[in-house]
Amino acid sequence: MAQAEVEAVRVRPSLREGSKRGRRASGIARQRARAGIVLTAPAFVVVVLLLIIPIGEAVYYSMTNWDGITAQWVGPRTYLNLFETPTFWRVLENNGLLLLALPIAVFIPLVIAGMLHEHVWGWKVFRSLIFLPTAVSWVVIGIVAMQVFAANGTVNSLLGALGLKSLEINFLGFEYSALAAVAVTFIWSMVGTNTIVFLTGMSTIDPAIYEAARLDGAGRLMVFRHITLPLLKRYFQFGFVITTISAFTGLFSLIFIMTEGGPGYGTTTLEFFVYQQAFAIGAFGTGATVGIVLLVIIFGVNLLQMRILRGET
């Protein structure tokens, strides 16, 4: 019994020390939690004021008959009315056709980045030329593209010089040729941005991996296919996301300068359709409805892309 009492006396201080350490650790954790709340509170307030509240207001006005001054509540019927409008589906088709340009807008910069990463002859000059579109505004790009694809523009002049005068057309005068001109201009404008993205990804790859592959007898194409591409999955994901967002929400200035959404609705995208409904016609409620639909589509497309790429990873 005496020995047991002695052991109990020895254990009690250690238990008290353990409980003190536990209370100290929990106190530190609470302090860190409070500090995290204090530090993130300003950013949270900014997000709520500039993002959450405006989106909530847009959702409300999307279900009203709003002329910019007064709003009359209609309800979810506004979305049904929009989906029953043939013009909406024509505009949505244009966005779907522009999505077909996404793989090209990503693949071409990938090839260019691979060549620049290998420091081919004149790579510094080519890098500067390729990065140039990133420093030019959409308005300037639209003005240049309008001159290139006009009836007496650069493309038709080249066709005439090559003896292909029979192929000359007014690219901006027909619906699908005008949309193709917008798509080509969009692809060109995204080359610099996506090239930067892929060059950044390639610079993070350990050179020792390349050296080991070359020592094993792998050529440039094999190294690019089996080493570079798998290690760029996250950069592929980022490139597809920013290209998709640009295709849906970044072409207003380009379309406004090149075609003003025409001919007809041939080059009108959902983004441009919001402008037409809200500011050209004055149907701000319909414009808000189209804007919410556009938000949902962008979120869904990007979520699908990320899931596909994550699954491949």
For residue range 22-45, list pLDDT tens digits in order: 666 677 778 888 888 888 888 889
**How does residue 12 score in pLDDT terms, banded at 50, 70 and 90?**
low
pLDDT of residue 25: 65
Q: pLDDT tens-digit profile of 255-313?
A: 999 999 988 899 999 999 999 999 888 899 999 999 999 999 988 887 887 777 665 55
Closest CA to 98 of 265, 225, 252, 269: 269
pLDDT of residue 168: 86
CATH number of 77-312: 1.10.3720.10
Q: pLDDT tens-digit profile of 86-102?
A: 999 999 999 999 989 99
**How does residue 163 score in pLDDT terms, banded at 50, 70 and 90?**
confident
Residues 279, 273: Cα–Cα separation, whole Å: 10
Closest CA to 178 of 256, 262, 270: 262
**How does residue 104 score in pLDDT terms, banded at 50, 70 and 90?**
very high
pLDDT of residue 18: 58
Say which residues have a Cβ less than 8 Å from residue 115's Cβ, sequence separation at least 6: 123, 126
pLDDT of residue 312: 54
Q: pLDDT tens-digit profile of 166-205?
A: 888 889 989 999 999 999 999 998 998 899 899 889 888 8
pLDDT of residue 294: 93
Residue 250, pLDDT > 80, answer yes
Q: pLDDT tens-digit profile of 109-130?
A: 998 888 888 777 777 777 777 7
**How does residue 57 score in pLDDT terms, banded at 50, 70 and 90?**
very high
Residue 206, pLDDT > 80, answer yes
Residue 52, pLDDT > 70, answer yes
Most confident range (mean pLDDT) of 63-72, 76-85, 223-232 is 76-85
Average pLDDT, the chain: 85
- Domain map of the chain by residue range? 1-45, 77-312
